[in-house]
Amino acid sequence: MVLLRIIEQLCKRYKDTIVIGDFNLHSCPINVCNYFQCFQTHCGFTQSNEVGNCNDRQLDLTFGSDGSVSVRAAEAPLVPVDAYHPPLDVTVSLRVRQRLRAGSSPPTTGTPEPTGWNFNKADFPLLYSSIAAVDWDPMYNLDLQTSLNYFYDHINTILDDCVPRKKRSRVTSRYHYPEWYTVELIRDIKAKAILHKRYKTSGARTDYEAFSQCRTKVKKSISCAREQYAHRVQSQMLEDPKSFWNYAKSRQGSRSPRKILKNDEEMTDEQCVQEFAEYLYSVYDTEEAALNVSSAMIEAGGDNGAALVHLDYLQLPEVCGALQQLKPKRSSGPDGIPPYILKDCRSTLAKPLQYIYNKCLEAEVIPEMWKVTRVVPVPKGGPGTGVDGYRPVAVLSTPAKVFEAAIHKSIFQQVSSQLSDAQHGFRPARSTTSNFLSHMANLLLSVDSGGQIDVVYFDFKKAFDLVNNDILLKKLAAVGFTPHLLRFDRQQYVEYEGHKSEPYFTRSGVSQGSNLGPLEFILMINDLPKVVKDAQCLLFADDLKLSLEINELADCDRLQRDIDAVVAWSTACSLTSPSVWRSLLLACVLLSPIVTTWTGCKLPELRKLRI
């Protein structure tokens, strides 16, 4: 059994193992034969040799995983034939790792995602030193697509050499380890399971003592790892609040994945990914936008004196700054490169990325692979079991994200003076807090006068997804965007449980998962406050509220006109009619109620507060 235990250790160290040898199990003791069955199951081996010898037995066995080995009788033996050990023709199937090249498209429906890199086992010193040693000078004379291929070829080759691929299992693992479990602890837990099987098979006292010692070690390690993790999360709560909330969530609720049903039947992962894609695609407009840049420029007034938004070339400090601002814990995009790799290697990668970015601006083209967004469905937290119970989280490739961050800073500096003061979303030094304080300051002034204050809330359903791109082009042109900045389009695909859907174009809406999307949206609705004449208008992205002190019926008419103006603006911009409700703040008792209507119906009252 010593040989079998050595092979077990090798299987723990190496992902793909093939064993060929003369085992002659028929002459082995019964305890060895029993242990051999546990050994074969534990290592995930399949015996492939069905060629019998002169006694119709198989003494020479071949073991591999996932059908990687096939055996047949050799047709042309190289040495004299031994009747007890006939010559074999063994074929081994090697899995070729495919590299994502620039311009490649995502796999088709239901195709499992190629195994990604396992950065938990990466050799980071070798990885970073290899990236630093790359000679990028040859790419500085290449065109956009060739230079992009040069960049990804070198990065992917280094990742293949320094980072192992994730091992794909054909079945879902029933083990879910907490975040504080270290690699060494998980290895000890698996070793404990092996020792337990060994003791159950042999019944030997020495095997039990080995199992007992390992079990004691695992218990102490679990307790120590939990305490260290809790202390680390607590000490870094201000710098990294996300880890604290992840820890809090891990201490409650079920770890079982939520089932997705359709017509009361549970769907497979392949069906789920396509169902998600169809649902998300249905949210967008089905009619393709014209995207006529020339027409948009003409309707915007052309040379009307508007401040032009220029974006000539990015300087190296701008690219370095965008790399520095990357959040290292964010997910990888379609290219599989995590943000912290680019952030840690920014001193080396900033210059080649700057060259590629400026080539994009010069050619007025965004590479196709950077216009693809990976969409991951995340549960909203409710009890729903359908695809509508999930919200999409869009993730761009990290180099594309850096590019957008760099040009976003330049664009925002040029358009910030044109943004409405009513907008508190996606702007520096503004937030929900500043929005709330502005609202409360207006309310307190009105309360002192002892009247009624009406607050009307608007919620534009799926406003980010239903922005008409032709109207958006006109509004961007009116702000001062030059034609070459108005020609970017995108597509996306859904990833769920290791499967990818077919990519689909988004015919409406702003850029998903990007820095530019929120800026595009606030520019889209930037003229909304102009249609509100009397009420105080406050915005946080697409959340709008109007407030007005009501002292007489004429004030109610003024508020009603502002509400109707918002309706007309929404219709003109091809946005869906928003959900609207009313809140009243009363500092006195009114002699008669004042009613506000919405599309001919009385507005529902969210709440009524008396002071």
Structure tokens given for 420: 């409405």
Residues 370-395 have a mean pLDDT of 82
pLDDT at 611: 40
Residues 394-416 have a mean pLDDT of 91
Cα–Cα nearest to 71, from 79, 80, 61, 81: 61
Q: Which residue would you say has higher pLDDT here, 165 or 37? A: 165
pLDDT at 101: 46
pLDDT at 169: 53
Give the tens place of pLDDT for each residue, 210-260.
899 999 999 999 999 888 888 888 888 877 777 777 777 776 655 555 678
Residue linked to tokens 């409710």: 382
Give the tens place of pLDDT for each residue, 529-556.
999 999 999 999 989 999 888 888 888 8
Q: Which residues pair with 90 in a beta bridge?
A: 71
Q: Taking 50 as the threshold, does the pLDDT of residue 25 lie above it?
A: yes
Asked if residue 353 lies in contact with residue 399, where contact means CB atoms within 8 angstroms, the answer is yes
Residues in the chain, overall count: 611
Q: Taking 80 as the threshold, does the pLDDT of residue 440 lie above it?
A: yes
pLDDT at 147: 95
Give the tens place of pLDDT for each residue, 442-472.
888 777 777 778 888 888 888 888 888 888 8
Calpha distance 563→541 (Å, rounded): 18
| pLDDT-based confidence at residue 315 (cuts at 50, 70, 90) | very high
> Which stretch of 21-30, 71-80, 167-176, 582-591 has the lowest confidence by average pLDDT?
582-591
Q: Taking 80 as the threshold, does the pLDDT of residue 31 lie above it?
A: no
Structure tokens given for 305: 């004196």
pLDDT at 347: 95
Structure tokens given for 223: 């307790």
Q: Taking 60 as the threshold, does the pLDDT of residue 486 lie above it?
A: no
Give the tens place of pLDDT for each residue, 150-167.
999 999 999 999 999 876
pLDDT at 589: 40
- Full DSSP string of 478-510: HHTB-GGGS----EEEEEETTEEPPPEE--SSS
Q: Which amino acid is at 317?
A: P
Structure tokens given for 4: 């079998």
Residues 120-128 have a mean pLDDT of 90
Residues 465-485 have a mean pLDDT of 81
